[in-house]
A and B are shown apart, each in its own frame.
Chain A
Amino acid sequence: MATIEWPEELLEIIDDFAAAFDSSERYEMLFELADDVDELPLSEWTSSTKVHGCQSEAHVLACLNVDGSFHLKGAADSKLVQGLISITATALEGLSLTEVAIFPPTYVEEMGLKDALSPSRANGFLNMFKKVQHEAALLGD
């Protein structure tokens, strides 16, 4: 499989996670990254922002920066889930909508998180990622 060229900020996160001692440390890093997301306030959580198929209450809102590039807001009641949203926001920040549409979700595997995520949590991540791509596509319509 060809190596994917990740955006620089995402690559730094991937490297940090890959160097972590164990899954405890990776969860700890994920927990801390939760605070970095452009947090979607509770008052803006609606049925249209909700990520379905996720064990926790997770919400995402696709937006555009002033230059027309992609920006993601998000939040979850679980900080680990919000950490995953935060990393996704970093991964996609400033990309064009076309780039968002073809962006692979495999960075979680490279971070060593997929093994640590139970199948239901992993499904939740993919549901979140697909919703972000879907919402991004709607912005371009």
Chain B
Amino acid sequence: MAWSIDDWPAPIALSVEEARKDFPILQRIVGDGKKLIYLDNAATTQKPQQVIDAMSDYYCNTNSNVHRAAHTLASEATIAYEESRLKLKHWFGATQSRLVFTSGTTEAINLAAHSWARTNLVKGDAIVLTEMEHHADIVPWQMLAKEKGVELRWTPFDLETFELDMEAFAIAVKGAKLVACVHTSNVLGVRNPIEEIIRLTHEAGAKLILDAAQAAPHDRLNFEGLGVDMLAISAHKMGGPTGIGALLINESTFQQMEPFMGGGDMIREVYLDYSTYQENEHMLEAGTPKIAEAIGWGAAIDWMAQWDIESVHQHGLYLAQKTVAGLRKISGMRIFGRHAKGDGAVVSFLHDTLHANDLAAFLDARGFAIRTGHHCAQPLLRKFNIAATNRVSYWLYNTEHEVDEFIAATTEVCKKFA
């Protein structure tokens, strides 16, 4: 029987204890017998058993290529693949829009650059970006700028408040054709004023693409409600598998897009001297698609649908704020971000004298998985005149006790080695 939105139960408030039971990896012992405390969720989240089972079941019982073939397995695989697309459209409030599967957020932004911007921008046009962007939302535009002679305008952010300079944005967006902006910073956790950015962008007659990779784990986003033109997301940062993401596209923008890659699923008819293309999302999904991954992502959305998303957001924010309070008590510790309502559950920090790599190594030896480095946001870090930070990031299965243990271990290491 086909999936319907009624299959999702009424969401209940998050129970961390119940949620944790579905993640076998959280029981892992690492290194010299230390219990794993996984605090690197902004890089990738762990996967619930339901996602692992869905992908395993697909390969055990259904594996087949989708579309076109006239046999039972192909039909079942096609239904499951397209059902996942439908689930995602419902989840993100995009039922009247297009959802193109990509390999992740990076490919989604590259797809927007190749399929929309390359076709619709000409020499002298401008794209507005922010200094908060992930490299995935910088480099594709630099490549396009070089190829097409397009101007890139940068919106700065304040080093004290960690907020975008919206006055500068309002000036930069005038006459621009596209705005590419991160919804929630993967380094600072700051949620940008998306509603104002959308309003100013559309008043200027420009289109907006949002990098929502860090927002999706704790926000359903409501693509059509927000009125965004394009939105890029990854499955693996919200309980789904790696290797798949999506670009959500509103209909008017989709109609202006040209195919990026040719072959496979995107064609309608091929002749020796020309080809015609599919008119739906398949036009932008060349080759055999990510079938098992799409099914796994659909299972992740089913799993997420049991929890009230606002309670998921509140839980992550509470853990982040508790972390900040604990880290502030450590002498010489610098914290990046404001950790206000709406922000992601991400805390970047750096000790004055203990190198980020050394702190991470000492914590790793104690079982803590944290991230260290430039977080693919070198221009952002350069603004602070630093090359790296440490970063902890939470998801719905992290506990208050884990935060306490992390703070205790970090305090101990800093006291001993800083």
Contacts and interface: CB of A to CB of B under 8 A. Distances in A.
Contact of A23 (B365, B373, B387): B365
A77 interface: yes
B290 interface: no
A118 B365 CA distance: 11
Interface stretch (B17-25, B297-305, B355-363): B355-363
Contacts of A28: 416-417
A30 to B, nearest CB: 9
A23 B358 contact: no
A3 interface: no
B123 to A, nearest CB: 37
Nearest to B355: A78
A80 B365 contact: no
Nearest to B388: A55
A80 B357 contact: yes
A78 B357 contact: yes
A23 B355 contact: no
Contacts of A45: none
A116 B31 contact: yes
The number of chain B residues touching the other chain, given as a range, is: 10 to 19
B355 A56 contact: yes
A70 to B, nearest CB: 28
A57 to B, nearest CB: 8
Contact of B357 (A23, A24, A81): A81
Interface string B365-386: 1100000110000000000000
B32 interface: yes
Interface in B217-272: none
A107 B127 CA distance: 53
A47 B119 CA distance: 43
Interface string B22-56: 00000000011100000000000000000000000
A31 to B, nearest CB: 6
A103 interface: no
Task: Give the most central of B355, B361, B372: most A CB within 10 Å.
Answer: B361
A27 B357 contact: no
A27 B409 CA distance: 15
A71 interface: no
A46 B187 CA distance: 30
A78 B358 contact: yes
A37 to B, nearest CB: 15
A9 B387 CA distance: 35
A59 interface: no
Nearest to A31: B417
Contact of A27 (B33, B362, B372): B362
Given A78-B355, A81-B357, A116-B365, A23 B32 contact: yes
A44 interface: no
Nearest to B33: A22
Contact of A55 (B357, B416, B417): B357
A131 interface: no
A57 B358 CA distance: 12
Given A22-B32, A79-B355, A116-B31, A27 B373 contact: no
A80 B31 contact: no
B398 to A, nearest CB: 22
A80 B361 contact: yes
Task: Give the most central of B32, B33, B372, B387: most A CB within 10 Å.
Answer: B32
A24 B366 contact: yes
Given A31-B358, A56-B355, A116-B365, A23 B417 contact: no
Given A55-B357, A56-B355, A77-B355, A24 B365 contact: yes
Contact of B373 (A55, A77, A79): A55
Task: Give the most central of B357, B366, B387, B416: most A CB within 10 Å.
Answer: B357
Given A31-B417, A55-B373, A116-B31, A22 B358 contact: no
Given A24-B362, A57-B387, A80-B361, 6 more contacts: A22-B33, A22-B365, A24-B32, A31-B358, A78-B358, A116-B365
13 contacts: A22-B365, A23-B32, A28-B417, A77-B355, A78-B355, A78-B358, A79-B355, A79-B358, A79-B417, A80-B355, A80-B357, A80-B358, A118-B364
Interface of B: 31-33, 355, 357-358, 361-362, 364-366, 372-373, 387, 416-417
